[in-house]
């Protein structure tokens, strides 16, 4: 009998038990790790001659989504766990409004819609998961486990994918007229035909009549959902929705019911984000306030507010000097000074010139440890204010990365150890971190990282350090980035 099994590989597959574990990683608006790699490799766009690198996706850094993707087991790798063999699928979906190797899509980045919008990226992830499962159709698959991660609008795409998967309770993808027969039922023709019918379903939600292929025969369950600062910001002029500043997100399904994941749903959000086009979509029915560090739970949903602006949480900022147009509102200058964005500030140096239509222009400069703010006014009316910061470090997002990694590992997500102090005991049993230099915490942030990890308050000096050197000023006087009038972020419930 043993010799016969060795000769017949298909028989071996029928006697083995396989678990498919799939990780989907949806990046944020304007974030594309492949385009970042292109810039780092020399900045040439394949197939496009002499085009300057003007697209945001080429000018940013790797995000936490890409880093988690790199720490997840590679696609088609296997691991034996007790009497089961795990086969892993690992798929990174480029950010909304981006196209690998090409310039970014303005429509996708502005509206979150179209060929490079939230729904398109969510469907791309669904297709990749479907193809992965389809490749193992002849195996005796006992169950499928799915982990989903997302940042910004990528978090919206991740939530849409999770929502639809939960409706089907199965891996789904665009309908294929020829669907491969599934696993251990493949020899039962009649049952296969019935299964074929069961795999083809209409999803009718908010007028969506898309046709999907669905693997219903295999028990499928979301295990972990990890989100960084969900910002749907969807507009659809075709449907008379001209503003991304509301809770109308069209056909994007963002609600995550409690219990949708076996383990946890974790949402890390930005305390210092206040752009009116960056409203937060909570995972709780009673959301966090997010004006100070805060943790709230509802069932196995955990929402946590961390210091930083949007991309200080999800990643993508390059380290370096910054210049921000603060606009004409006096409160913008006052707030930047009060928040310590340029460090301790001396009394302003002011001088008056006749340079504005023969009117007297008063120009005041506030010098700080890490830059200056210049404010110009006529008759006490500000008409220009600019903040220049000598250096802002992009490494703050690594604290959120470590936090999410810890939540995921405690939920049995198969991530390579990031070498956080809490995980030292497991390091010898796991592969080495392949991106160590992109995940290490700077020495001066290590105590802050430890406190954040344990939800402990920061000292005044630690907060000043973050404000001066690490937290970016994301709101500015420009289209799409203006702050809310109240200076407080708009937050919508789950």
**Per-residue pLDDT for 116 more than 60?**
yes
CA dist., res. 122 & res. 98, Å (int): 13
Q: What rounded mean pLDDT belongs to the chain?
A: 85
Tell me if 284 sits within 8 A of 258, measured CB to CB: no
Q: At what angle do helices 397-410 and 446-453 cross, to 10 degrees?
A: 40
**Per-residue pLDDT for 191 more than 60?**
no
Higher pLDDT, residue 278 or 213 = 278
Residue spans of the domains in the chain: they are 13-317+394-462+465-470, 321-391
**Per-residue pLDDT for 475 more than 50?**
yes
Supply the pLDDT for residue 303: 99
Supply the pLDDT for residue 52: 46
Region 371-393: mean pLDDT is 91
Tell me if 328 sits within 8 A of 382, measured CB to CB: yes
Confidence grade of residue 249 (pLDDT, cut at 50, 70, 90): confident
**Per-residue pLDDT for 120 more than 90?**
yes
For residue range 28-80, list pLDDT tens digits in order: 999 999 999 988 888 665 444 444 445 688 889 999 999 999 999 999 999 99
CA trace torsion 40, 41, 45, 51 (10° rounding): 70
Confidence grade of residue 358 (pLDDT, cut at 50, 70, 90): low
Higher pLDDT, residue 204 or 458 = 458
If you ran DSSP here, which 8-state letter would residue 415 be given? Answer: P
């Amino acid at each position: 009998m043993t010799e016969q099994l060795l000769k017949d590989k298909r028989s071996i597959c029928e006697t083995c038990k396989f678990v498919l574990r799939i990780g989907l990683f949806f990046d944020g608006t304007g974030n594309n790790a492949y385009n970042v790699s292109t810039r780092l490799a020399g900045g040439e766009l394949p197939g496009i001659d002499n085009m300057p690198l003007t697209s945001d996706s080429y000018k940013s850094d790797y995000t936490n989504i890409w880093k988690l993707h790199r720490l997840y087991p590679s696609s088609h790798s296997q691991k034996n766990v007790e009497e089961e063999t795990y086969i892993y699928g690992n798929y990174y979906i480029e950010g909304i409004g981006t196209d690998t190797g090409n310039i970014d899509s303005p429509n996708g980045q502005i509206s979150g819609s179209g060929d490079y919008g939230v729904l398109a990226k969510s469907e791309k992830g669904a297709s990749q998961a479907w193809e992965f499962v389809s490749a193992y159709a002849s195996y005796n698959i006992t169950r499928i486990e799915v982990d989903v991660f997302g940042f910004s609008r990528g978090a919206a795409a991740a939530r849409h994918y999770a929502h639809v998967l939960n409706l089907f309770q199965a891996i789904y993808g665009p309908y294929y007229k020829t669907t491969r027969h599934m696993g251990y039922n493949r020899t039962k023709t009649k049952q296969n035909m019935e299964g074929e019918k069961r795999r083809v379903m209409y999803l009718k939600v908010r007028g969506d009549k898309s046709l999907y292929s669905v693997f219903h025969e295999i028990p499928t369950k979301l295990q972990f959902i990890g989100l960084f600062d969900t910002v749907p910001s969807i507009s659809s002029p075709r449907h008379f929705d001209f503003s991304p500043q509301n809770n109308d997100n069209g056909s994007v399904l963002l609600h995550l019911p409690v219990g949708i994941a076996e383990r946890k749903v974790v949402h890390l959000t930005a305390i210092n984000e206040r752009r009116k086009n960056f409203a937060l979509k909570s995972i709780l029915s009673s959301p966090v306030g997010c004006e100070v560090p805060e943790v709230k739970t509802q069932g196995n949903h955990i929402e946590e507010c961390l210091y930083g602006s949007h991309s200080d949480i999800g990643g993508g900022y390059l380290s370096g000097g910054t210049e921000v147009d603060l606009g004409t509102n006096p409160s913008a200058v006052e707030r930047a000074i009060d928040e310590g964005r340029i460090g301790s500030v001396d009394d302003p140096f002011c001088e008056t010139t006749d340079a504005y239509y023969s009117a007297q222009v008063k120009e005041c400069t506030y010098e700080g440890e890490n830059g200056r703010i210049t404010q110009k006014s006529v008759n006490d009316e500000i008409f220009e204010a600019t903040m220049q910061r000598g250096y802002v470090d992009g490494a703050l997002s690594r604290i959120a990365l470590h936090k999410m990694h810890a939540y995921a590992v405690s939920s049995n997500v198969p991530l390579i150890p990031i070498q956080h102090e809490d995980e030292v005991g497991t390091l010898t049993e796991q592969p080495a971190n392949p991106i160590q230099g992109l995940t290490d915490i700077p020495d001066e942030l290590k105590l802050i990282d430890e406190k954040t990890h344990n939800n402990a308050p920061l000292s005044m000096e630690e907060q000043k350090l973050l404000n001066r050197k690490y937290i970016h000023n994301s709101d500015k006087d420009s289209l799409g980035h203006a702050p809310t009038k109240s200076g407080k972020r708009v937050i919508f419930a789950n």
